[in-house]
Structure 1
């Protein structure tokens, strides 16, 4: 653990670009260069795999639409099971409450 006096700057944070350095996570120029290089590498890999960015985006949108559609079906099914179960559980619960009130227990 390193203790610093008030106003002292940590050696690891010097030259990080101040406020922009905190937003970018380092020197803004360095981050931009790393991101550009990463974009070129990912673009090269996707091109070699014959994956188009628009196809990838369309696939992601289709997956989200399927998830929403299937979630709606699941919620309908759960709602149906809830109503069927409530037709049995609620009357039994009411009868048990009535018997408990008659015996004096609470």
Structure 2
């Protein structure tokens, strides 16, 4: 019977379409963007009168490559993720379908 075709559920395809790419790639991109936004928010939000010293301290921690730098990077990641991930999720939920 030629009209007797069954379609398999496209759960992975719809997940990839919802996320805007493969899940691993999206997680990687969101992580990098979260770190970047966290650095900017930390530089602006914590001490606006001492931005140069904050940036110098950040580069000093990265230069030292000790556990303090990793801890600072994790803090920046979490700070940025608080802003980036909800905005990304809302844009994916309420964004207009683009015909793909």
TM-score, normalized by the shorter chain, greater than 0.5? no
The TM-score range, normalised by the shorter chain, is: 0.3 to 0.5
What is the TM-score normalised by the length of structure 1? 0.33
Higher relative contact order (CA 8 A, sep 6+): 2
What is the TM-score normalised by the length of structure 2? 0.34
